[in-house]
């Protein structure tokens, strides 16, 4: 009986022999060359172990580490910047001290001269014994004036310029930071039961505000009311405007925005249709601002200043807490309707960062503007390339919020999407929506208000879907 011929060519010697397959490279070797092939693999593996050991020693000796040397160079640059900056500060401080001392000395000399003159007049009158009631009154007034001038000696003060004379320093990393992302399919957490005025319905919701307990304060615009929707509730409760549309103190007309005042646990409402800003506290109402204002957006900074956008006057004004009877101060726009950097066109929602910079959705110009504190004009931080649906465009932006990294989130209404813009970037990034108008979980229909909860979940008020949609953050 003949033996089966199962011989194949060896990969190394190329001769037909009984061969064995290497599972790693899938090549076949005769027994001799399989052993040789295995020895080669063992050498490669030992070389890998040796390379790892060398790398470990390199890490354990940081002064031989290239990264360590690079860090040392950067630290030296930082140290040099610190020395230069301190020297500038010391020099400026010394110059300012000299001005203070020189001014003080000059002031005292002037007071001394005036007093010496008065003393001479008194001595002369005393010597000659020539004085009467008129002279005494004159001398008393002179002494009083000199005394008041000395008491109010603070004729100079310190002014700190917001424009630093010391060059700023920052670290630029070549690594791309990981930005937050959200699940593209949202969940209706308020409304979503069709247009209506029942407690489980909304009608064209606009602005929204979330408190620390994830309760949502909703501007139910076309129902002329503010609804509070408790966390995980099936329906809301009316907390303002339960008396239908009207101009009475306990009524609202087409409200657009709301904020929750943490200090006194009241809500402040942009009562647009009644051209006023009104405060509700335990069903008691107080008109804060009622000076022919077409209020649309509201914001409050960490110092308690209230900001209101006027979409007719094309401006944003700021009021100090408790001084609402004043006309406020124009802090953005106020130069007529237009698209220049010192103008706005139909400003809507606003947001304030920790530096009191104002971000305003410049709806008619299809852009978002940033106005730094006390500046005469703003800068374009989103859109500004005409109305459109490209990544560098917006179409009638509404809600705008800033996160703790300074990233700008915009409700891009007619594009039915939420965009994120990083300052100085030429185009934005799609966050949620952007799948056409509709009521599916991955669609938006006229997004208006935006808000985050403390976990970073995103909430969107959809005017035409009559719902508030939550998009959960991807951890």
Answer yes or no: do 261 and 396 share one domain. Answer: yes
In a domain, 212, yes or no: yes
In a domain, 88, yes or no: no
Please check the confidence at residue 87 and state whether its pLDDT lies above 50. yes
204-233 pLDDT, tens per residue?
999 999 998 899 999 999 999 999 999 999
| pLDDT for res 361 | 97
Answer yes or no: do 54 and 198 share one domain. Answer: no
- Beta strands 315-319 and 306-310 are antiparallel
In a domain, 77, yes or no: no
Which residues have a Cβ under 8 Å from the Cβ of 142 and sit 6 or more positions away? Answer: 118, 121
Residue 20 · residue 28 · CB < 8 Å = yes
- What number is the average pLDDT over the span 184-197? 95
Within its chain, how far is the Cα of 126 from the centroid?
72
Please check the confidence at residue 275 and state whether its pLDDT lies above 50. yes
| pLDDT for res 61 | 64
pTM for the structure as a whole: 0.64
In a domain, 74, yes or no: no
In a domain, 171, yes or no: no
DSSP labels, 43-71: HHHHHHHHHHHHHHHHHH-GGG-HHHHHH
Answer yes or no: do 48 and 193 share one domain. Answer: no
Place 239 in a pLDDT band, splitting at 50, 70 and 90: very high
Please check the confidence at residue 323 and state whether its pLDDT lies above 80. yes
- What number is the average pLDDT over the span 459-475? 95
Please check the confidence at residue 175 and state whether its pLDDT lies above 70. no
Average pLDDT, the chain: 87
Percent residues over pLDDT 90 in the chain? 52
- What number is the average pLDDT over the span 86-96? 84
Comparing 457 with 260, which gets the higher pLDDT? 457
| pLDDT for res 153 | 62
In a domain, 139, yes or no: no
Distances (CA, A) of 30 to 3, 26, 339: 18, 13, 81
Sheet holding 205-210, edge to edge: 205-210, 216-220, 225-229, 237-240
| pLDDT for res 16 | 87
Answer yes or no: do 331 and 199 share one domain. Answer: yes
Domain count, the chain: 2
In a domain, 206, yes or no: yes
Answer yes or no: do 194 and 50 share one domain. Answer: no
Size (the chain), residues: 475
SS3 378: coil
Two tokens at 437? 């108008």
Domain boundary at 59, 76, 95, which?
59
| Boundaries of domain holding 50 | 8-59
Answer yes or no: do 43 and 188 share one domain. Answer: no
In a domain, 225, yes or no: yes
Separation between Cα atoms, residue 362 and residue 348, nearest integer Å: 7
**CATH at 352:** 2.120.10.30
Comparing 86 with 201, which gets the higher pLDDT? 201
């Amino acid at each position: 009986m003949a033996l089966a011929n199962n011989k194949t060519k060896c990969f190394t010697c190329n001769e037909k022999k009984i061969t064995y397959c290497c599972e790693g490279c899938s090549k076949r070797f005769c027994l001799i060359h399989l052993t040789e092939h295995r020895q080669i693999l063992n050498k490669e593996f030992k070389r890998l172990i040796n390379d790892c050991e060398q790398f470990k020693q390199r890490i354990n000796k940081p002064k031989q580490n290239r990264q360590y040397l690079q860090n040392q160079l950067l630290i030296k640059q930082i140290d040099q910047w610190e020395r230069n900056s301190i020297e500038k500060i010391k020099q400026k401080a010394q110059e300012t001290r000299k001005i203070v001392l020189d001014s003080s000395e000059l002031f005292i000399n002037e007071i001394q001269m005036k007093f010496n003159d008065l003393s001479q007049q008194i001595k002369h009158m005393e010597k000659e014994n020539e004085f009467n009631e008129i002279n005494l009154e004159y001398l008393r007034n002179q002494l009083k004036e000199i005394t008041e001038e000395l008491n109010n000696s603070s004729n100079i003060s310190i002014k700190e310029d917001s424009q630093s004379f010391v060059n700023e320093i920052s670290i630029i990393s070549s690594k791309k930071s990981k930005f937050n992302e959200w699940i593209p399919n949202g969940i209706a957490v308020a409304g979503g039961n069709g247009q209506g005025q029942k407690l489980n319905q909304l009608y064209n919701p606009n602005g929204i505000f979330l408190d620390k307990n994830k309760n949502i304060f909703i501007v139910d615009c076309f129902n002329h009311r503010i609804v509070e929707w408790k966390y995980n509730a099936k329906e809301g409760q009316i907390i303002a405007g339960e008396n239908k549309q009207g101009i009475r103190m306990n009524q609202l007309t087409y409200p657009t925005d709301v904020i929750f005042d943490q200090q006194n646990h009241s809500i402040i409402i942009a009562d647009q249709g009644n051209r006023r800003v009104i405060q509700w506290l335990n069903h008691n109402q107080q008109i804060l601002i009622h000076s022919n204002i077409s209020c649309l957006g509201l914001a409050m900074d960490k110092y308690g200043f209230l900001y209101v956008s006027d979409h007719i006057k094309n401006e944003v004004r700021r009021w100090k807490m408790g001084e609402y009877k004043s006309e406020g101060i124009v802090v953005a726009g106020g130069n007529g309707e237009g698209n220049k950097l010192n103008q706005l066109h139909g400003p809507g929602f606003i947001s304030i960062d920790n530096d009191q910079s104002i971000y305003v959705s410049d709806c008619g110009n299809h852009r978002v503007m940033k106005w730094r504190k006390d500046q005469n004009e703003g800068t374009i931080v989103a859109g500004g390339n005409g109305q459109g649906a490209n990544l560098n465009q917006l179409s009638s932006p509404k809600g705008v919020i800033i996160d703790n990294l300074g990233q700008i989130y915009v409700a891009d209404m007619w594009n039915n999407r939420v965009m994120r813009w990083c300052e100085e970037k030429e185009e934005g990034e799609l966050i949620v929506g952007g799948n056409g108008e509709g009521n599916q979980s991955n669609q938006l229909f006229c997004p208006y208000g935006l808000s985050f909860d403390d976990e970073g979940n995103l909430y969107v008020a959809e005017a035409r879907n009559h719902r508030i949609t939550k998009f959960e953050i991807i951890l």
